[in-house]
Each structure stands twice: as C-alpha cells, then as structure tokens.
C-alpha cells in the first residue's frame, strides 16, 4: 500500500459509515398554460434572451425583420429539416444570406467559426421553471450550430413547454432513450471567471433569440 491511490482508497474504506442525508423537500411547480408561458418568457428575458411570440406561418418573416434590424448578414440553417425548408421557401433569396449546413463539419468549420453571423436551430421543448430550451442535436442540426455563431436563433413550440426539467424528462420519455448529448440553453453564453465580472459571448453565442411558436 505505497501508492497515493491505494492510500486514498484505504482511508475512504476505513472512514466511518454514515447515513445518506435526507433529500430536501421539493414540490415541482405547476402552472396553467398562461402562467407557464409567462414564466418561460420571464426567465429567459432575465438571462438577456430576446423572446418573440410568433405563429407557425409568420415566423420566417418575423425573423427576417428581427435579423435585418440587427444588421445580420447571414445565417446558418439546416435545409433538410421542416423548419429549414419553410425558411428557405419563405425568404426565397431575400433577407440575410442563408448558409446551408449540408456538408461534413470538417468542410464547414471555417464558416461556423469565422463567417456565420447567426444560426437557427429547433428546440425539442422548453422548461418554464428555469427558462431553458431543450436541444437534442442531430446530424442535420449539430451542437456546433448552437455554440459557434455569435447569434443563436431557436424555434420552440409553445405546446412543448413543460413546468420543470422533471416533467420534461417524463413527458419526452428520456428514460427510453437519449441522444449522445442533450443541451439545455438558458440564455446567451456567459461567464464570470475573471474577477466575477459577468461577460457575454466569451465561450459561445453572445445573443439568444427565441421564437416562441403559438397558435395561428
């Protein structure tokens, strides 16, 4: 028993056994539909996200206006998804340039890192309690799309909002299968690593635009 590893393990094994602490009292939040949407928006906006209520029909044009007002020149999108096809059909060559993510990441890395102003992804759901988007990256919409461009645009259906992460896991059936990674986004990228001064966009997008799709 000379190695540090062996000594550490021996001390751990010799330590007195104590009962695990009791779980804290916790009751999941429960909102009605109106309060759920209001909570989701309030939490996201408190984290400096821009939230816009749109419809399934008008979101491409609303997005074009939003991006034009910000001076966005281009946006990466997934042409193989229903949202990507709707976007391309609606814009039809107008608005910011659309950059199709239609090739291996090795061939698209320079665009994502150095050229793209924004990227559009769809969200699998949203969590009202924390104001979080639930992303399950796919080969059509890989995780890099929500991490590298300076502006992340996310589409989320109001009908997919849940009250809590626990409810999301249950409703979406996470126990029966999950992707390689699931991403929860609760605002633009931010850090306070340096002197506890909060800075945005250091490790990821500095802006988050959420299009909340309600009923037409």
**pLDDT tens for each residue of 151-180:** 999 999 999 999 999 999 999 999 998 888
Q: Does residue 73 have a pLDDT over 80?
A: yes
pLDDT for res 1: 60
Closest CA to 95 of 62, 55, 58: 62
CB neighbour list of residue 97: distance below 8 Å, 6 or more residues apart: 73, 74, 75
pTM as predicted:
0.87
**Percent of the chain topping pLDDT 70:** 99
The domain 31-213 belongs to what CATH superfamily?
Answer: NagB/RpiA/CoA transferase-like (3.40.50.10420)
Alpha helices in the chain (DSSP H): 4-14, 33-46, 59-70, 82-91, 105-110, 165-171
Angle at 97 (CA atoms; ends 160, 57), nearest 5 degrees: 35
| Residues contacting residue 12 through CB under 8 Å, at least 6 positions apart | none
In order of 60, 91, 176, the CA distances from 85 in angstroms are 11, 10, 30
Q: Are 160 and 126 in contact (CB under 8 A)?
A: yes
132 neighbors 121 (Cβ within 8 angstroms): no
The mean pLDDT value for 70-93 works out to 96
Residue 105's pLDDT band, with cuts at 50, 70 and 90, is confident
């Amino acid at each position: 028993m000379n190695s540090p590893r062996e000594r550490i393990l021996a001390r751990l094994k010799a330590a007195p056994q104590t009962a695990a602490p009791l779980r804290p009292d916790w009751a999941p939040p429960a909102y009605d539909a109106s309060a759920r949407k209001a909570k989701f928006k309030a939490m996201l906006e408190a984290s400096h996200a821009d939230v816009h209520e749109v419809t399934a029909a008008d979101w491409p044009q609303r997005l074009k206006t939003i991006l034009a007002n910000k001076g966005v020149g281009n946006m990466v999108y997934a042409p193989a998804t229903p949202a990507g096809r709707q976007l391309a059909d609606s814009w039809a060559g107008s608005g910011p340039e659309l950059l199709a993510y239609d090739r291996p990441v090795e061939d698209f890395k320079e665009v994502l890192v150095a050229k793209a102003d924004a990227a559009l992804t769809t969200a699998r759901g949203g969590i009202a309690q924390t104001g979080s988007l639930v992303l399950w990256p796919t080969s059509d919409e890989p995780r890099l799309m929500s991490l590298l461009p300076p502006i992340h645009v996310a589409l989320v259906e109001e009908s997919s909002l849940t009250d809590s992460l626990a409810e999301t896991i249950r409703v979406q059936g996470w126990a029966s299968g999950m992707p390689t990674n699931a991403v929860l986004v609760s605002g633009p990228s931010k850090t306070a690593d340096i002197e506890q001064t909060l800075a945005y966009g250091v490790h990821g997008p500095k802006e988050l635009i959420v299009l909340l799709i309600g009923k037409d």
